[in-house]
């Protein structure tokens, strides 16, 4: 037995026939970039999230950069986000010339602590970039209220929470603009790089469409300065197949999560708490444990390979340490970073294997 925390190849095998047919159709056709498959994916994804428009792009980091640029956020501007996220979130803010301002998370949910926003607010603040980490919705009511009150843009990074809901609404429909990565391991994953942006603001959507391809309103005529962040047809065709399975896949992830939450020894492990009135997407199933590094060795010796998301908070990484503005107290972020562990979770993981993993976990130190 060898079980990793994620397994994108198992997902391909689960839908092999349909995916291979979709790829063949593209390569036998004559449109490889920004064609019918991308259009179809954009329309279906916008409908799925419940927004006016979606724009396919090259990856999740680009999605964040284009969203920021469409809001004219750049040099001299500050964007508030968390230190507890994929580095891409923070890198994207710097890539457009703006300054990330990092705040702590709510210890029990792993998402941005709304109580930390006021102390970092400055005349330079333009936006809050909220991350729905591990598939868990952030506290959107408090964060939206703060943004409205202070006239800030609200940007959602939904790269780990495709399909998750809060109060019956899909994540990605709360902010001014929302960004999704479709990296292979994500809940909606391509077989390569891909990303998508969702928004209810059609003017913003038009601008992102221009920015995505050299500012072209018409071919070879740039209306505004842009770049290349095109989504290719093969990835879009694969995503069109997989979008049809996203809801059932998320149900499978929740079944696995429920089994872990029910059966893991509460004296040994702290399991995730799901926010009220929400559906968690369980991109990752993250527990906290004392003696985490010994636990990893124990699991490895039984063929189980968990992940750590993330080993080091961004404000302590070499590229960023003592350089970024932050809310000061990062105790929740720093505490969880030493204890967290991502257990195997993916739609194709059988409940039999989950039970075996639980047995191995509960035998830790016994
Ligand atoms: C994966 C991820 C990204 C980056 O997406 P890429 O497609 O790898 O560029 C951004 N933010 C979060 C929270 C992610 O998990």
Q: What is the CATH number of the domain that holds 302?
A: 3.90.1150.10
Q: Which residue has the tokens 């109580």?
A: 115
- CB count within 10 Å of CB 220 equals 6
Ligand 1 centroid from CA 207, angstroms: 22
Q: What is the CATH number of the domain that holds 206?
A: 3.40.640.10
CB 282 near ligand 1, within 6 Å: no
What is the rounded CA–CA span in Å between residue 205 and residue 198?
A: 8
Same structural domain, 130 and 278: no
- Per-residue tokens: 224: 């505004």
Q: Which atom of ligand 1 is closest in space to residue 64's alpha carbon?
A: 10
CB 183 near ligand 1, within 6 Å: yes
Domain limits for position 249: 245-362
- Per-residue tokens: 175: 């902010």
Same structural domain, 123 and 272: no
pLDDT of residue 128: 98
pLDDT of residue 328: 82
CB 269 near ligand 1, within 6 Å: no
CB 61 near ligand 1, within 6 Å: yes
Q: For ligand 1, atom 6, which residue shows the shortest CA distance?
A: 60
Give first-to-last CA distance, the chain, whole Å: 22
Ligand 1 centroid from CA 54, angstroms: 17
Q: Which of 200, 219, 243 is the last residue of a domain?
A: 243
Same structural domain, 192 and 317: no
Q: Are 49 and 198 in contact (CB under 8 A)?
A: yes
Same structural domain, 109 and 58: yes
CB 160 near ligand 1, within 6 Å: yes
Same structural domain, 299 and 205: no
In a domain, 1, yes or no: no
In a domain, 341, yes or no: yes
- Per-residue tokens: 159: 């790269």
Ligand 1 centroid from CA 363, angstroms: 34
pLDDT of residue 366: 60
Q: Which of 243, 259, 287 is the last residue of a domain?
A: 243
Going 23 to 26 to 27 to 28, the CA torsion angle's sign is positive
Same structural domain, 264 and 154: no
What is the rounded CA–CA span in Å between residue 132 and residue 85?
A: 9
CB 257 near ligand 1, within 6 Å: no
CB 159 near ligand 1, within 6 Å: yes
What is the rounded CA–CA span in Å between residue 23 and residue 254?
A: 30
Q: Are 275 and 166 in contact (CB under 8 A)?
A: yes
Q: Which residue has the tokens 């970024």?
A: 324
Ligand 1 centroid from CA 88, angstroms: 6
pLDDT of residue 365: 83
Q: For ligand 1, atom 7, which residue shows the shortest CA distance?
A: 60
Q: Which atom of ligand 1 is closest in space to residue 92's alpha carbon?
A: 10
CB 137 near ligand 1, within 6 Å: no
Number of structural domains (the chain) is 2
Backbone angles phi, psi at 54, to 5 degrees: -135, 145
Same structural domain, 102 and 179: yes
pTM score, whole prediction? 0.98
Ligand 1 centroid from CA 318, angstroms: 20
What is the enclosing helix (H) or strand (E) of 69? helix 60-70
Full pLDDT tens readout for the chain, 366 residues = 799 999 999 999 999 999 999 999 999 999 999 999 999 999 999 999 999 999 999 999 999 999 999 999 999 999 999 999 999 999 999 999 999 999 999 999 999 999 999 999 999 999 999 999 999 999 999 999 999 999 999 999 999 999 999 999 999 999 999 999 999 999 999 999 999 999 999 999 999 999 999 999 999 999 999 999 999 999 999 999 999 999 999 999 999 999 999 999 999 999 999 999 999 999 999 999 999 999 999 999 999 999 999 999 999 999 999 999 998 899 999 999 999 999 999 999 999 999 999 999 999 986
What DSSP assignment string belongs to 275-333? PTTEE---SSEEEEETTHHHHHHHHHTTTEE-B-S-SS-GGGSTTTTTTSEE-S--HHH
Ligand 1 centroid from CA 157, angstroms: 8
Beta partners for residue 199, in sequence order: 53
What is the rounded CA–CA span in Å between residue 129 and residue 157?
A: 7
- CB count within 10 Å of CB 120 equals 17
Same structural domain, 198 and 302: no
In a domain, 2, yes or no: no
Q: Which of 243, 261, 286 is the last residue of a domain?
A: 243
Q: Are 136 and 110 in contact (CB under 8 A)?
A: yes
What is the enclosing helix (H) or strand (E) of 154? strand 153-157
What is the rounded CA–CA span in Å between residue 233 and residue 41?
A: 10
Backbone angles phi, psi at 160, to 5 degrees: -115, 15
Q: Which atom of ligand 1 is closest in space to residue 59's alpha carbon?
A: 7
- Of the candidates 330, 291, 290, the residue with the CA atom closest to the CA atom of residue 313: 330
């Amino acid at each position: 037995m060898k079980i990793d925390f994620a397994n994108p190849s198992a997902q391909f095998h689960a839908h092999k026939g349909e995916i291979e047919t979709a790829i063949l159709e593209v390569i036998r056709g004559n449109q490889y970039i920004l064609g019918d498959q991308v259009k179809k994916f954009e329309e279906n994804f916008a409908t799925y999230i419940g927004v006016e428009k979606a724009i396919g792009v090259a990856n999740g980091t680009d999605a964040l950069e284009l969203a920021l640029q469409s809001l004219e956020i750049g040099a001299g501007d500050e964007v508030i986000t968390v230190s507890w996220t994929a580095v891409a979130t923070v890198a994207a803010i710097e890539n457009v010339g703006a300054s990330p301002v990092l705040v702590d998370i709510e210890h029990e949910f792993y998402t941005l602590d709304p109580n930390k926003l006021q102390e970092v607010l400055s005349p330079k603040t333009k936006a809050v970039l909220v991350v729905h980490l591990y598939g868990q919705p952030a506290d959107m009511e408090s964060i939206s209220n703060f943004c409205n009150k202070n006239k800030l843009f609200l940007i959602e990074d939904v790269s780990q929470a495709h399909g998750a809901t809060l109060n019956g609404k899909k994540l990605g429909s709360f902010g001014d603009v929302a960004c999704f990565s479709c990296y292979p391991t994500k809940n909606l994953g391509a077989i390569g790089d891909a990303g998508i942006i969702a928004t209810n603001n059609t003017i913003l959507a038009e601008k992102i469409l221009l920015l995505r391809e050299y500012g072209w309103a018409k071919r070879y005529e740039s209306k505004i300065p842009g770049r290349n962040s095109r989504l290719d047809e093969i990835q879009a065709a694969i995503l069109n197949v997989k979008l049809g399975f996203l809801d059932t896949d998320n149900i499978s992830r929740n079944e696995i999560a429920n089994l872990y939450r029910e059966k893991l020894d509460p004296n040994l492990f702290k399991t995730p708490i799901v926010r009220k009135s929400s559906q968690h997407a369980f991109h990752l199933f993250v527990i906290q444990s004392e003696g985490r590094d010994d636990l990893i060795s124990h699991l490895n010796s039984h063929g189980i390979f968990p992940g750590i998301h993330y080993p080091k908070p961004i404000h302590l990484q070499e590229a960023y340490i003592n350089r970024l503005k932050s809310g000061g107290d990062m105790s929740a972020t720093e505490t969880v970073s030493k204890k967290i562990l991502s257990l195997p979770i993916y739609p194709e993981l059988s409940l039999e294997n989950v039970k075996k993993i639980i047995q191995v976990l509960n035998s830790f130190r016994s």
